[in-house]
Amino acid sequence: VISEAHKNGAKVFCDVTNLDHALKVQDLGADGVIAVGVGAGGHAGPISPLVLIPWLSKKLEILVIAAGGVGDGSTIAACLSLGASGVSIGTRFIASHEAEVDIAYKKAIVDSSPEDIVMTTKISGTPASVINTEFVQKSGLDLPFLLKYLKTNKLTKKYMVPIIHLAGMKALQNSAEGTTWKTVWSAGQTVGLIDEILSCSEIMDRLVKEYHQARESLPSVLTNH
């Protein structure tokens, strides 16, 4: 996939949650990695961005983009100070006028707090961060025993993993578009930093302003280096 993308002039940045995966995609020719730390929406890793970003930055020769817990200008500044070359922001832009998702999804992001974000394996078999809606509470957070067995059994996992994943992604898509009563909304802990639905241009202007404010508020001993 990476080589085919390069043939067509595209750059490839791969989501990773640990060093092993990062080194693997580096060897395969990826242009960079998106370091997905704890707190990210959707499929998130278990490692704090405070550790994951500098760890990967020291070990890799390709770009490291930070993801997870990035929702305002101060968190952008924090990620860059840890060694990231840039950031990937998801949850903040779901709560935008341009996002083609159901308005109930956007309002849920605005109304939620970091404590409302839970990890579930029931969607795709892989831990994912979602808003703890009433449907999520009723359906539970764990993959059913039979599916868990088929997913790990060496005779069936080759077939079951992609099936479970595709079914879960379809469920998320339907929920985001408001075409089902099964409200499973992917979001990260940065919901706590979002208090209104804005246009993408307003979000960008605010991020830039907050970033510069964060830099200016740092003690001079840090900004002079």
Q: What per-residue confidence (pLDDT) applies to 181?
A: 46
DSSP bridge partners of 224: none
Among the listed residues 43, 97, 165, 225, the single catalytic one is 43
Q: Is 43 a catalytic residue?
A: yes
**How many residues are recorded in the chain?**
225
- Is the pTM higher than 0.85? no
Q: pLDDT 10s per residue in the chain (225 long)?
A: 999 999 999 999 999 999 999 999 999 999 999 999 999 998 899 999 999 999 999 999 999 999 999 999 999 999 999 999 999 999 999 999 999 999 999 999 999 999 999 998 876 667 889 999 888 887 766 666 556 656 677 777 776 667 665 665 565 556 556 555 467 899 999 999 999 999 999 999 999 999 999 999 887 645 554
Residue 179: the pLDDT is: 53
pLDDT at 204: 98
Q: How many CB atoms lie within 10 A of CB 161?
A: 16
What topology is assigned to 1-89+200-225 in CATH?
A: TIM Barrel (3.20.20)
Strand 86-88 vs strand 42-43: parallel, antiparallel, or unpaired?
unpaired
Backbone angles phi, psi at 137, to 5 degrees: -60, -40
Q: What is the pLDDT of residue 36?
A: 97
Domain coordinates in residue numbering, the chain? 1-89+200-225, 91-194
3-state secondary structure of 100: coil
User: What are the DSSP calls for 39-94, one per residue?
Assistant: T-SEE--SS-HHHHHHHHHHH-SSEEEEESS--SHHHHHHHHHTT-SEEE--HHHH
Q: Look at residue 80 in the predicted model and tell me its pLDDT.
A: 96
Strand, helix or coil for residue 16? strand
